[in-house]
Amino acid sequence: MIGNNGIVPARRSKEGLRRNNLKVLSGVFVMLAVMTGLVTYSPELYRIFCDITGIGGTVSSTAAPAPTSSPATDETVEVFFDANVAPGLPWEFRPQQRKVSIRFGEPIKVSYFARNNSDEPIVARATFNVTPYKTAPYFFKVECFCFTEERLEPGESAEMPLVLYIDEEMLNDRNANEVRSITLSYTFFKQDDLSEEEIAAARDLKLGSEEIESRLETSESIEFDNDAPRR
């Protein structure tokens, strides 16, 4: 900017830039604080927050179009699987497979593994996201272990089954039809300061996973979840 005397007020410009940078950084820190608080205290609010803002690529529940055993296309997509534990959670957590290649519309079963490496019962809660976010409206999976309090006993482990598919309608979306690589990522957060009653009331991750596995093996149909909006 040029002043009235034709001289560039460099000092004022730098101070203005510094103030603008501080505003941006403050906004980022506030958003991170909000997200952390929502994850810790209210998984439902966190889901709503991500759905409104599009942050995290979060997917949740609604009616899903049925997958097909005979997809109309031979087009494939690679799905990568990621697993994380937040600081302070003494769990081992990993996908049993790092990636799969599947046809659009074709369901596939995969699994995650978790083990409590501590000498006490631990309750944790997982969030998940699908990236790139523009593919989230077409990513369908069975309801699994996310957004609920899950308990593992000392040294106990669980294998969590997961069935998913990518809706063929993604190929008709001009904004997303070029994507051939999608990542599903989970993060477990330890739930602190729980009473003995609250720990006991948490879902038994091992038993719950075995029940899901049994249902998947015996059910003739599977209910899939997704409510990421299609634009």
Answer yes or no: is 76 within a domain: yes
Buried b (16+ CB within 10 A) or exposed e, 74-110: eeebebebebebbeebebebebeeeebebbbbbbbeb
Please tell me whether residue 30 adopts helix, strand or coil conformation: helix
Query: CA-CA distance, 37 to 31, in Å (whole number)?
Result: 10
Is the model's pTM score more than 0.75? no
Within a domain: 45: no
Q: Which tens digits make up the pLDDT trace of 78-127?
A: 999 999 999 999 999 999 999 999 999 999 999 999 999 999 999 999 99
pLDDT in tens, 191-227: 999 999 999 999 999 999 999 999 888 887 778 877 5
Count of structural domains within the chain: 1
> Closest Cα to residue 38, out of 130, 145, 127?
127
Helix axes 43-53, 10-41, angle to 10 degrees: 140
- Given a cut of 50, whether residue 47 has pLDDT beyond it is no
- Pairing mode of beta strands 203-204, 149-152: parallel
Lowest-confidence pick of 43-47, 93-97, 149-153: 43-47
What is the domain extent for residue 65?
57-225
Q: Is residue 212 part of a domain?
A: yes
Residue 186 falls inside a structural domain: yes
Element (H, E) at 25: helix 10-41
**Residue 59 pLDDT level (bands cut at 50, 70, 90):** very low
Q: Above pLDDT 70, what percent of the chain?
A: 67
Say if 12 falls within a structural domain. no
Residue 39 lies in a domain: no
Within a domain: 195: yes
Q: What is residue 213's three-state secondary structure?
A: helix
Residue 1 domain flag = no
Q: Which CATH number is 112's domain given?
A: 2.60.370.10
